[in-house]
Amino acid sequence: MASLAASTTTRAAGFALIEHSAKGMGNAFAGGGAVAEDASSVWFNPASMTRLPDQAQVGAHLIEPTFEFSDSGSTQAGSPAALLAGTRATDDGGERAVVPNLYYVRNLIEDRLYFGLALNVPFGLATKYPSDWKGRYHAIESEIRTFNLNPSLAWRFNDWLSIGAGVSAQYIDAKLTSAIDFTAVCASTGTGLEGQLSLPAGTLSSTCTGIARGPGQGGNDGHTENKADDISFGYNVGVMVEPDQRTRLTVGYRSEVNHELDGKVRFDVPARIATNATLDAAVRRAFADGGISVAADLPQQVAVSAYHRFHERWAIMGDATWTDWSSIPELRIVYDNPTTTGDGVAIENLQWDSAWRLSAGLQHYYNDRVTLRAGFAWDQSPVHDPTLRTPRLPDNDRWWIALGGSFELVPRKVSLDVGYARLEIPDTVIARSNDTRATLNGTYSSHSDILSAQLSWRFD
């Protein structure tokens, strides 16, 4: 699954992915909706495909992240707040990933009506930590992937105005795992396991004392795995204005996609607890395998792009994209078993804000068969409060520096595009606390390298 998701250090804010074109990678996706030089225009702004001949395109993006956590005094749940056990001073949660894309454009009515089809991965993340790392009670493995099928139509009114619109069928699946500190759950008299089962305070106190090794010390760790998926739908619209033959301006809108994921939760109980019949019965009643549901409203986006060819061999481009991450205020898992977490609901507060991505690029048409590119971008994170960051997605602002080129293998028929980007991310502080998951204090040092390649075939 990780091969079709992406590390959290590689996306365009939050866990949105912008890796949809190797040609676009070369200029950090500046002018994505306005450049209109390959079939990925279907995704970035459907109106811009009215500039394209019939063609197909297939590509992939190899992502190599470094995502290293350094602990700075994480503490166990409960009181006293002793240091949390863990085998390493540093842990790397980055996962190598491959993100694919496929596009097709066809002119249905000569120079007027165009059809486009996009198949890509607009959202995704993959992080994986060692099972005994300091933040294991918050996250061990996190995977989210989406597949989006987006047919669209575009109409060219005249030499300066085109519009386009499309619909999306989007599949999402998610896998979230973490450790459970059963010592902390059991020992929280009246609020932990006793609270979940509505037992009188002190009912399990002697039993818990018998198994306790100290919260956060790993002796009574269990595990939970949540898996869920869904299919939902959205739409996108775009407009392109061409004031002259060298200049293009586009505005595009992509709707929110409202998912209601359904799936299963599985709990593993540590052997030390399973040997105590009284405690094992209580734990298995409170932590029973069963069904779950998760609501996830993936955000709407607005993108404004510009392209200007100021010289026969040179062009500049830019892009501003707004993503409404406030659509995901929290991660809420609803369990079919009402005794899980006490009320059958687990909530992880996110409080994300909307975010911007700004990019600029330069393109050099070296000759009729070779084009060179460069670009840079700033990605704003939807979260900046260390207490709201989660190790599943410890987000921060980042800078892109990108290079790339296009090479015609068969003149006017087959072309190869390659792109490379380096993402630099400032040190990211996390201070995440929870009554039974311990407090995770530390700093992430992150960067990522992305290598993209694609082939395009023209049919005209």
Q: What is the pLDDT of residues 330-345, one digit of tens each?
A: 888 999 987 776 677 8
Shortest CA distance to 124 belongs to which of 108, 105, 106, 148?
148
Q: What is the pLDDT of residues 39-71, one digit of tens each?
A: 999 999 999 999 999 999 999 999 988 888 998
Q: Using CA atoms, how far apart are residues 13 and 29, in angstroms rounded to an integer?
A: 14
Q: Using CA atoms, how far apart are residues 344 and 335, in angstroms rounded to an integer?
A: 5
Q: Using CA atoms, how far apart are residues 337 and 272, in angstroms rounded to an integer?
A: 24
Q: What is the pLDDT of residues 375-410, one digit of tens each?
A: 999 999 999 999 999 898 888 999 999 999 999 999
Shortest CA distance to 225 belongs to which of 266, 195, 192, 268?
266
Q: Using CA atoms, how far apart are residues 89 and 91, in angstroms rounded to an integer?
A: 7
**SS3 call for 206:** helix
Q: What is the DSSP string of 24-82?
A: HHTTTTTTTTT---STTHHHH-GGGGGG--SEEEEEEEEEEEEEEEEES--B-SSSS-P
Q: Would you state the pLDDT for residue 361?
A: 98
Which domains does the chain show, CATH number per domain?
A: 2-458 (2.40.160.60)
Give per-residue burial for 42-79: e unless 16+ CB within 10 Å, then b.
bbbbbbbbbbbebbbbbbebebbbbbbbebeebbbbbe
Shortest CA distance to 240 belongs to which of 303, 324, 300, 167?
303
CA 373 from chain center: how many Å? 26
Q: What is the pLDDT along the chain (460 residues), one digit of tens a residue?
A: 334 444 444 445 679 999 999 999 999 999 999 999 999 999 999 999 999 999 999 999 999 888 889 988 887 765 445 566 665 556 666 778 899 999 999 999 999 999 999 999 999 988 899 888 888 999 999 999 999 999 999 999 999 999 999 999 999 999 999 998 877 777 654 445 666 666 666 555 556 655 655 444 567 788 999 999 999 999 999 999 999 999 999 999 999 999 999 999 999 988 777 667 777 777 788 888 999 999 999 999 999 999 999 999 999 999 999 999 999 888 889 999 877 766 778 888 888 999 999 999 999 999 999 999 999 999 999 999 999 998 988 889 999 999 999 999 999 999 999 999 999 999 999 998 876 677 889 999 989 999 999 999 999 7
Q: Would you state the pLDDT for residue 288?
A: 87
The number of CA neighbours under 13 Å toward the Cβ of 20 is 27
**SS3 call for 379:** strand
Which residue's entry shows tokens 């709707």? Answer: 255
**SS3 call for 180:** strand
Q: Would you state the pLDDT for residue 202?
A: 58
Q: Would you state the pLDDT for residue 25?
A: 98
> Can you give the pTM of this predicted structure?
0.90
Q: Using CA atoms, how far apart are residues 79 and 52, in angstroms rounded to an integer?
A: 65
- Give the mean pLDDT of the chain: 88
Q: Would you state the pLDDT for residue 342?
A: 64
Alpha helix (H) residue ranges in 230-298 = 271-274, 277-286
